[in-house]
Amino acid sequence: MWLMAFIGGASSFIESSLAQLFKIRDRGSFRGGPAYYMQNGLKSRWMGIAFSVILIACFPFAFSSLQANTISATITATAGSTATWLPWAIGIGTAVLTALVVFGGVRRIASVTQFLVPVMALTYLLLGLVVVVLHIERLPEVFAQIFTEAWGLNEVVGAAFGYIVLTGVKRGMFSNEAGLGSAPNAGASAAVTHPVKQGLVQTLGVYFDTFLVCSITAFIILVSVPDLAGHRRGSRSRRGP
């Protein structure tokens, strides 16, 4: 995921700058994205339509449904409830809250996210830092474990390196959406004095998400569950090559 962030930062810069360059005014705000610069930049309307259809089909099933299921599963597991109605109630509540934001238009989406996302990210980082500080003696071991588990001789010889890279690419894209073509749709609505400024903001978002938020997640898991790597190596050896 760290490797993916360096590449994703560049692709996010390009796609968001292009979204600003080819955006159009819409009732006091702006709209744009890959479909717009495919049509107006590449002069390929069919490509823009195809991209829009794929994105519309992808997000409800590949992103929103998975995230809603994660919210439901987390709350249900934390509450220790076996009630069959609880996941339905959480799903309906999540859908209603999302609808209140989305159907309020671009301005409401922007106002909610500019307040909620920084608070959410900073709170998570602070809690993660508390966990890491409580296990600070394990931090050097964690860094060593991250690199040896990915770049070790056994992984390269055992053809596991390609799988590790592929997993990092998939999870990195799911996390920061760099190069996916979704972030530029939001980035195009920003009012900036130069397209490159929005590209730089989107790049910073990729770095913040992966190098800080995702990394603190890894540190929380690895410093608080010291025998995790041992269990993984043991399970691989039992499965055999």
Structure tokens at 164: 């590790």
pLDDT digits (tens, 9 = 90+) for 97-113: 989 988 887 778 878 88
In the predicted structure, residue 228 carries a pLDDT above the cut 70 = no
Instruction: Please list, in sequence order, all residues whose beta carbon lies within 8 angstroms of the beta carbon of residue 148, skipping any fewer than 6 positions away.
Output: none
pTM beyond 0.75, yes or no: no
Q: Output phi, psi for 142, to 5 deg.
A: -65, -45
Confidence label for 47 from pLDDT (cuts 50, 70 and 90) = very high
Contact (Cβ atoms closer than 8 angstroms) between residue 9 and residue 205: no
Query: What is the Cα–Cα distance from 228 to 135, expressed in whole angstroms?
Result: 15
Query: What is the Cα–Cα distance from 164 to 186, expressed in whole angstroms?
Result: 31
Contact (Cβ atoms closer than 8 angstroms) between residue 6 and residue 20: no
H/E element holding 12? helix 2-21
